[in-house]
Amino acid sequence: MTKADRRVVITGMGIISPIGCSAESLWQSAEQGTSGIGPLTRVPPDHLNTGVAAEVSDFTGSIDDFGELEKTTKRSVKKGLKLMCREIQMGVAAAQLCLTDSRLSPEVYDPHRFGTMFGSDYIITEPAEFNRSIRHCLDDDHQFDPERWGEHGIGQIDPLWLLKYLPNMPASHVAIYNDLRGPSNSITVREASANLAVGEAATIIQRDIADYMLVGATGSRIHLLRTLHVVLQEQMVDADDPRYGGEPRCTSRPFDLDRSGMVLGEGAGSLVVESLDVAESRGAEILGEVVGHASTSVANPQGVADYHQAFRNVLTGVLRSANISPAEVGHVNAHGLSSVRCDREEAQAIRDVLGDQVPVLSLKGHMGNMGAGGGLVELNASLLCMRHGRLFKALNYDTPDPDCPINVVNVDGVDPGDLFINLSISMQGQASAVAVRRFS
């Protein structure tokens, strides 16, 4: 079977998000205009320039968050929780929920033909991991003495601490728990990671290296150190802007004239993709077909991202990959960061390549920027729109920005069409896109 012949379809989804940890709850929240944004509680906001975030309050990291598990798997996951930071826990939970949704069991598949592909951000250690070591290096004046580190400090670190934060661990955990012995890889390109993971997984199946791939992505902007990095590097929302009336839910406003920056978020998403022939042979419910993917990176010599050119390149590339015309695109699930420049340049690229009439969906108004995890949650949201036959309205899109001349969905009942493009980009200008068609 040639690459052109082997079709890749989606047969399961898993979601951990600020507006729901299941397909049903995500859909209801999105359609009802529910916001997952509230006061920032997981990080002390006192010395930050933002005090709002989209936290996944429904996710506690307990074994119950991982869905229905076979007894042995449940015992293994529960034992492994102590070796996972929150970011990795969310990723593993989304993947396990996805496997359950796909109705795949070891009796159905050859484990050597089932692989894993995970996207993530760079994952940072919690400072508390070093508390005990630092206390053993204090001098009589309670000041840190670096000369004591080798003899008194380093030995106090938990020998397994690094396993809690390695970005390849979500794929490793999931493969071990479910005995998935096929190709495995981890992609760490921040927000672009999710679409890249889907594209790579589809390519592996098309090349007949695997029949099934469990694809996931997890990310967070809510972390003692990571939050500090973000607020120093990116345009954050001014939550005290009087236009928002002191309401956190009003702060993330993709493509709206009154947007002032992104909102911190966290979450994870997952998909099962498999060859059409094996999906049909087991009677799987097919949610969509992956028909194209593309990636690009554009920045100037000083390292400043050119969002406009990156989005143009990746949109042109995904149309070519899917062998489709702009007229065939039913809707675009935009990155929609809610920053002034990124939204403007993304909108102009969408108009340049697809025109100004294609419906544009945006989810970050509901749940902020979840980093790598956002791309897969957003892709899942578009699959749900196709399932229900309508798009949900963009939250907080009240005043169109003339510099964003696109058709952002702001009314009920818009047809999602038979094909959508999912867009993501990192602050460094790494863009990615996936095209998914309604299965027929």
Q: How far apart are CA 186 and CA 169, in angstroms?
A: 9
Could you please state the CATH topology (level 3) that the domain comprising 9-124+165-437 is classified under: Peroxisomal Thiolase; Chain A, domain 1 (3.40.47)
Structure tokens at 209: 């290296």
The SS3 assignment for 45 reads coil
- pLDDT given for residue 4 in this prediction: 53
Q: Other CB atoms closer than 10 Å to residue 149's CB: what's the count? A: 15
Query: Which pair of tokens denotes residue 386?
Result: 């196709």
Q: Could you give the residue ranges of the DSSP H alpha helices within 191-336?
A: 193-206, 224-233, 276-281, 307-322
Q: Walk along the chain (440 residues) and give the pLDDT tens digit of each residue.
A: 344 579 999 999 999 999 999 999 999 999 999 999 999 999 998 888 899 999 999 999 999 999 999 999 999 999 999 999 999 999 999 999 999 999 998 888 999 999 999 999 989 999 899 999 999 999 999 999 999 999 999 999 998 999 999 999 999 999 999 999 999 999 999 999 999 999 999 999 999 999 999 999 999 999 999 999 999 999 999 888 999 999 999 999 999 999 999 999 999 999 999 999 999 999 999 999 999 999 999 999 999 999 999 999 999 999 999 999 999 999 999 999 999 999 999 999 999 999 999 999 999 999 999 999 999 999 999 999 999 999 999 999 999 999 999 999 999 999 999 999 999 999 999 999 999 999 98
Annotate 236-267 with DSSP letters as a single string: B--TT-GGGTT-GGGS--TTBTT---B-EEEE
439: nearest Cα among 273, 293, 317: 273
What residues does each domain of the chain span? 9-124+165-437, 127-162
Q: Which residue, 104, 82, 75, is CA-closest to 281? A: 104
